[in-house]
Every structure is written in C-alpha cells, then in structure tokens.
Amino acid sequence: MALRFLPRTAWRDWRRPRNLRVPLHTTDVADADRRFLLLGLLPLWVAPGLADWWMHRRTDIEHTSGTKESAVHALMMTEAGVPVLLGLLARVNPFVLTVMGGAAVAHGATAVWDVTLATGEREIRPIEQHIHSFLEVLPLTALAFTACLHADQVRATLRGGPGPDDWRLLPKQRPLPGPYLAALAAVVTTGVALPYTEELRRCVRARR
C-alpha cells in the first residue's frame, strides 16, 4: 500500500481533543506502562546522554576524534529523537511503529560506527562503555513498551497495515498534556541539545 499522508488540516486542531490522563496511583497495567514511559524512561534517558557528553569532554574529543565523531553523536540523537517525537505527538499505527523500528535498528548500527571512529583516537574508559550500553538499549526498551501498549497496531503492522489510516501520519486522538510536553522539551533541551551543541562547537573551533 502506498504511503499517503493526510492534509495538514488533520493536524490543525490536534490540541483540541481532551488530553490523555495518566493516573499516578492505579495498578492498571496500561497506566503503569504509560507512567514508566512518560515519567521514567523518557526523562531519565537524559542522564546517560549527559554522562556520555561528560566522558567525551574528559577525553578531549575536540583534539582527538573531533568533528567526525561529534557529528555522529548528532546523527544518533536524531535517530532517537524522531521516533520519540512521533510517539509523543502522533497516533501510533503501522507507519509510526515501522519508523520506530527502523530508527532503533539504525541507531544501533550508528552506535557501532561511533565506537569504531573513536577507537584508537581517544581513550574509551570502561565507565563510558557501560554508559553506551544504556544508550543502546533504551530505544529498544521504549519501542517494546510502546508495542505492548498498542498490541493491536503491532498486529496490523505484521499484516501489512491493511487499514485506510495505517500508513498515514495522524495526530493522537487524545494528546498528551501540554505542560508535560513543555517540561519534557525543557529537560531534553537542557540535558541533551545544549551540551552536544557545545561539544560540536568545540570540535569545529579546534579543527579551525
């Protein structure tokens, strides 16, 4: 089936439906799954990313593997960021699940490339290797929990997405609360975007 996107009007009123509530005290499996994803995994994902940035700084990345490795870090953040953004804003369907799966595979392959570039150029300490293990498994963890929450869409994906909206990029029927999205954006900007932008800037200046 050809990939068909709905017109931009599909997203015009995406904030109007009632927000999705994530109860904090229920023991329902779906609620616990959402709590883990939204309040645990996504915010805490920043911690190993920030720790990895610090290890790059300590091992003088700007004067060793330099701009090439730092650019690969930016690529990996994009490979992780696109599926996260889709999961936060878009309706989870076969199209979104396929993008998430492809991004997870690409992220793992790029991580191998990243270590290959750094090996022999700068010291990769055991603690940094351990940090990498977290960064490599977290995208797969997020994908697994998302798949459990949307088992019907996983089944549709395995069947080739026969539904009329299976390969369209659609807004969530019940969007996440605006304050939560704003807070998560602030955490990611502060803990990921700004540090790695600073790293790339240092590498470019050192190269010049």
Tell me the HSE value of 125 on the side-chain side, using a 13 A CA sphere. Answer: 12
What is the number of other CB atoms lying within 10 angstroms of the CB of residue 202? 19
Confidence (pLDDT) at 6: 54
Tokens for 96?
A: 């979104």
- What CA–CA distance (Å, rounded) separates 111 from 72? 8
- What CA–CA distance (Å, rounded) separates 146 from 4? 23
Helices (H), the chain: 9-12, 29-35, 42-44, 46-58, 66-89, 94-118, 126-149, 151-158, 178-188, 194-207
Name residues of the chain where pLDDT drops below 70.
Answer: 1-18
Read off the pTM: 0.86
Confidence (pLDDT) at 3: 45
Q: Is 109 exposed, middle or buried (0-12, 13-18, 19+ CB in 10 A)?
A: exposed
Confidence (pLDDT) at 13: 67
Confidence (pLDDT) at 199: 96
Q: Helix 151-158 to helix 126-149 angle, to the nearest 10 degrees?
A: 90
Tokens for 57?
A: 């700084």
